[in-house]
Amino acid sequence: MEGKIIVVTSGKGGVGKTTATSCIGAALALEGNRVAIVDMDIGLRNLDVVMGLENRIVFNIVDVVQGRCKVEQAAIRDRRIENLFLIPASQSDNKDVLTTAGVERVAKQLRSQFDFIIMDSPAGIERGFENSVVSADDALVICTPDVSAVRDADRVIGLLYARSLTPKLIVNRIEPARVVRGEMLSHEDVLEVLSIDLVGLVPMDEKVLISSNTGTPLVLQKDSKAGTAFRQIARRLNGESDLPVEMPVYKTSMWHKISKTFGLKQ
Amino acid sequence: MLSGLFKRFTTKKNSRDAAKKRLQFSLIYDKLEVNDTTLTDLQQDIVDVISKYFEIDKESLELKVKRDDNVSALVFNTPILHVKRKKKA
């Protein structure tokens, strides 16, 4: 059976694309799939450090596309999660080094070797973005609940539609307490503005930074809220499309309940 | 609780609603943005069509996208120099 290529995009940088890619890839592997994560951010590679595989790089995606090595030689096997592989970006080349034709050729090989191929697109909508989406079967758009991320997400969604892809949205770094206080857009607000299907909601979680500090997979930490949310997203992508999306909730305190009773808070 | 009481009396509008409104407006305007080549092409086409019927001052015409709070409009302004007589076939 042919594997599926899922591109992870956002438009704006710094919204959690790399974290999302590594978590979703790892979680799909935990579900029993053979998964390749491909870092398409040529010149600014990061997935290797986030995944803790930076010391094992020999070849990269540019080497594969330019025919200097085989897919099997560039794919680094994760020793903690079975069937999880990373094909890192090149750090020395620039973004224009890849051609869409070259990427499409490699995509074909990847499809024959893996169940899922997760492509981490670079920020922006230039050449690197084109290369990441050219062979995608599905697209995920990540955004955080702030005006700049949502606006850029809208632009990217438009570009994906123009390529006949129907993207699904992940709202990242939700802080329910701030939503309740009226300081942050809720996921409903974001969905209404973008009018797109939702695939998952990820709460703000301090453990994300901690796990990237040490390069350990977040999805293996059972007490991580974000890790749990990403595992749910992976299950939805793996065919459990009717798995309900869990809303991040604000745990109300005693004082909150009392003031709510008196009509002081909503 | 005290802060809630304070907020209630200061009736400050929350920033969440402001963010949503601003986004909805800016996304609409983003989509209405037309690039320069489209506008020049359109202008040329309009000039060609009008020139069949009127002699117009090609130097002082202007084509603009006007934006209001509720509607966007395409405004084409041109001085007419002469009406062209159509020859009977």
Domain count, chain B: 1
Give yes or no for residue A254 having a pLDDT over 90. Answer: no
Q: Which domain holds residue B78?
A: 35-89
Within a domain: A64: yes
B1, B17, B19: residue with CB nearest A258: B1
CATH number of the CATH domain containing A257: 3.40.50.300
The pLDDT of residue B77: 84
Within a domain: A266: no
Over range A8-32, report the average pLDDT: 96
Q: Which domain holds residue A153?
A: 4-261
Within a domain: A203: yes
The pLDDT of residue B65: 73
Q: How crowded is residue A76: how many other Cβ atoms within 10 Å of its Cβ?
A: 23
Cα–Cα distance measured from residue A204 to residue A175, given in angstroms and rounded to the nearest whole number = 6
**pLDDT-based confidence at A25, cuts 50/70/90?**
very high
Best residue of A185, A252, A254, A256 to probe chain B, by most B CBs closer than 10 Å? A185
DSSP result, A35-99: EEEEE--TTS--HHHHHT-GGG----HHHHHTTSS-HHHHPEEPSSSTTEEEEPPPSSS-GGG--
Give yes or no for residue B9 having a pLDDT over 60. Answer: no
The pLDDT of residue B57: 83
Give yes or no for residue A10 having a pLDDT over 60. Answer: yes
Both structure tokens of A154: 């809208």
Give yes or no for residue A158 having a pLDDT over 90. Answer: yes
Contact B20 A193 (CB under 8 A): yes
Contact B16 A192 (CB under 8 A): no
Both structure tokens of A16: 């959690």
**pLDDT-based confidence at A78, cuts 50/70/90?**
very high
Over range A77-104, report the average pLDDT: 94
Global pTM reads 0.80
The pLDDT of residue A246: 84
Quick check: ipTM above 0.85? no
* Percent of chain A's residues with pLDDT above 90: 87
Instruction: Tell me the pLDDT tens digit for each residue of A183-214.
Output: 999 999 999 999 999 999 999 999 999 999 99
Mean pLDDT of chain A: 93
Over range A111-139, report the average pLDDT: 95
Within a domain: B46: yes
